[in-house]
């Protein structure tokens, strides 16, 4: 089990992490979400052992994770960390980068492992290409394959799909999380794609200005009544229900034939499989998801659903 006990870290008199605490069982996936500068990347580096922590402890299966003061080479051996610079050797080919730390004692096994990882990241057609000739997104995928090559027990990913094209991202992400689940790899992901984290995470942690606000299941985090947390996942409507302030996402408010709640449509935005309506109401601006386009200035009736 990965145990993080009340760790804190400051840089140049600025508190970057404060009293972060959680535990993960082998094979669990944790997404760390928050605004830019909230401390997501710093937390991954701390877990990997790149810092000497002034407060708190980190351990994996009972073994302390210690910082540079205790290790000649910083980093915990059972973990792999994919930073945003990918860590590739520019004049080695893609397959040489992925297999750099794999043993040559069994070359067929090594070649099979490299082929498996390149196929998983959709980079099999670039095996003989050097990273200097690849795009940033392609280099990122090679870095991911390299991080997985030695089958780590813990995988730390810092914005692993930030440079990957949207039409490839969904396929590669599904391949990755199928892989880590199959091999029981505990995985921590720092991501700004909060909405997409819902589908593959066992737990989601939300941090703000270095402080841990919440860690829970995706469902519980998504339906929180904390405005900052909810706004990471979608537009938030703030309403008063029976005198109590409540938060609702646009999909929780529906157009109905009749109701006491009448609003006027200001704008209708096509979003692919739905239309996002911006409406003027007595309570202020209300956003609603609807299956059909609605003309501007039209008055419609709303009700709160599920």
* pLDDT tens-digit series, residues 151-179: 899 999 998 888 777 778 888 888 889 99
Nearest to 161 by CA among 130, 117, 192: 192
Average pLDDT, the chain: 91
Backbone dihedral angles phi then psi of residue 4, each to the nearest 5 degrees: -115, 115
Q: What angle do CA 170, 174, 175 make, to 5 degrees?
A: 120
Per residue in 51-101, pLDDT (tens digit) is 899 999 999 999 999 999 988 888 898 999 988 777 788 889 999 999 988
* Secondary element (H or E) of residue 48: helix 40-48
Q: What is the mean pLDDT of residues 8-34?
A: 93
- What is the reported pTM? 0.89
Q: What is the mean pLDDT of residues 273-282?
A: 94
Place of tokens 């059972």: 78
CB 275 within 8 A of CB 290: yes
């Amino acid at each position: 089990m990965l145990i993080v006990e009340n760790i804190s870290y400051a840089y140049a008199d600025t508190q970057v992490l404060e009293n972060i605490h959680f535990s993960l069982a082998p094979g669990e996936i944790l997404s760390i979400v928050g605004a830019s500068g909230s401390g997501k990347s710093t937390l991954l580096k701390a877990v990997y052992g790149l810092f000497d922590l002034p407060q708190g402890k980190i351990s994996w299966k009972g073994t302390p994770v210690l910082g540079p003061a205790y290790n000649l080479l910083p980093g915990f051996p059972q973990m792999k960390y994919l930073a945003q610079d990918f860590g590739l050797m520019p004049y080695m080919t893609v397959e040489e980068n992925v297999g750099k730390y794999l043993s040559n004692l069994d070359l067929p096994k090594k070649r099979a492992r490299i082929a498996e990882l390149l196929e998983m990241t959709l980079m099999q057609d670039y095996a003989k290409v050097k990273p200097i000739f690849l795009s940033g997104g392609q280099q990122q995928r090679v870095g991911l394959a390299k991080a997985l090559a030695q089958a780590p027990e813990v995988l730390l990913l810092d914005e692993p799909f930030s440079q990957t094209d949207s039409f490839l991202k969904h396929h590669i992400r599904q391949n990755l999380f199928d892989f880590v689940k199959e091999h029981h790899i505990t995985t921590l992901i720092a991501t700004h794609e909060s909405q997409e984290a819902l589908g593959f995470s066992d737990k989601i942690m939300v941090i703000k200005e270095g402080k841990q606000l919440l860690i829970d299941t995706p469902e519980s985090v998504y339906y929180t009544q904390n405005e900052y947390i909810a706004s990471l996942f979608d537009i938030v409507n703030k309403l008063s229900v029976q005198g109590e302030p409540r938060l609702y996402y646009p999909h929780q408010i529906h157009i109905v034939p009749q109701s006491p709640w009448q609003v006027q449509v200001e704008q209708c935005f096509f979003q692919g499989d739905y239309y996002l309506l911006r409406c003027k109401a007595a309570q202020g601006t209300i956003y609603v998801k609807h299956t059909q386009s609605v003309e501007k200035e039209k008055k419609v009736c709303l009700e709160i659903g599920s």
